[in-house]
Amino acid sequence: MALRLRYVAGVSPAKWLRAWADRRPDLPVEANRVDQPVQLDALLAGEADLAFVRLPVEAGGLHVIPLWEEVATVVLPKDHPLADADTLQVGDLADEPRAPDQDDPAMTVELVAAGTGWAILPHSLARLHHRRDVIAIPLTDAAPTRIALVWRVERDDDDIQEFVGVVRGRTARSSRGATASPNAASTDAGRSARSTGGRPDRRGFGRRTTRGAPSATRHRKRGR
């Protein structure tokens, strides 16, 4: 017997899997990454017990705990005129072509590198699919995406709740509290997201704490 977990690209569940293995060595977790377009398929088919998904999702029949937000970044060819900016705003891209969106983020980045235009990706995906011929720059006025933990209402048992507790940082002795209702935000998960959040650097791989940065058109290097 095992707990079956699915997660989308950009999510790194290793720390929770380690914590779970220490707490529940009797119940291993089978974790598999899935593509975002089919992120709920295994869960709804009863082939998975929990899933880390990228919102929004159709929440009917599901418990949903929103976790952390992902900063939006724009991916550009490294030789693009805006590539030296620290941050950008959506308006800075108004006159620039956009690369065709693909279900596979790696293919989207491939098209950007080929010079077809720019693409907007969550910071985690831009970092995951980084390559030397592209650069990811934070968008200061683009809506962030959000990762959530979901599971089926009829599959809500003690094992599921214990795993939820691990993700939410509860210790083995702490109370589980009330079961999350569909679309209910997790207060302690929100605190955790804020404590580990922060804005990525201009390439999308570090952190920045500055908020409200002006349009990057005022941050270009001279002569670009």
Domains of the chain: 3-69+145-196 (3.40.190.10), 70-143+198-218 (3.40.190.10)
Quote the pLDDT of residue 214. 41
Quote the pLDDT of residue 173. 63
**Burial of 52 from C-beta contacts in 10 A (0-12 / 13-18 / 19+):** buried
Contact 204, 142 (CB under 8 A): no
Tell me the two tokens of residue 219.
């941050």
Average pLDDT score over residue span 182-209: 42
Kindly list the distances between the CA atom of residue 196 and the CA atoms of 31, 125, 192, 199, in Å, as whole numbers in the listed order: 23, 17, 6, 10
Phi then psi for 222, rounded to 5 degrees?
-65, 140
The band of 174, judged by pLDDT with boundaries at 50, 70 and 90, is: low
Q: Which pLDDT tens digit goes with each residue over 7-39? A: 999 999 999 999 999 999 999 999 999 999 999
Q: Which pLDDT tens digit goes with each residue over 35-84? A: 999 999 999 999 999 999 999 998 899 999 999 999 999 999 999 999 99
Q: How far apart are CA 211 and CA 215, in angstroms?
A: 12
Q: Which pLDDT tens digit goes with each residue over 120-161? A: 999 999 999 999 999 999 999 999 999 999 999 999 999 999
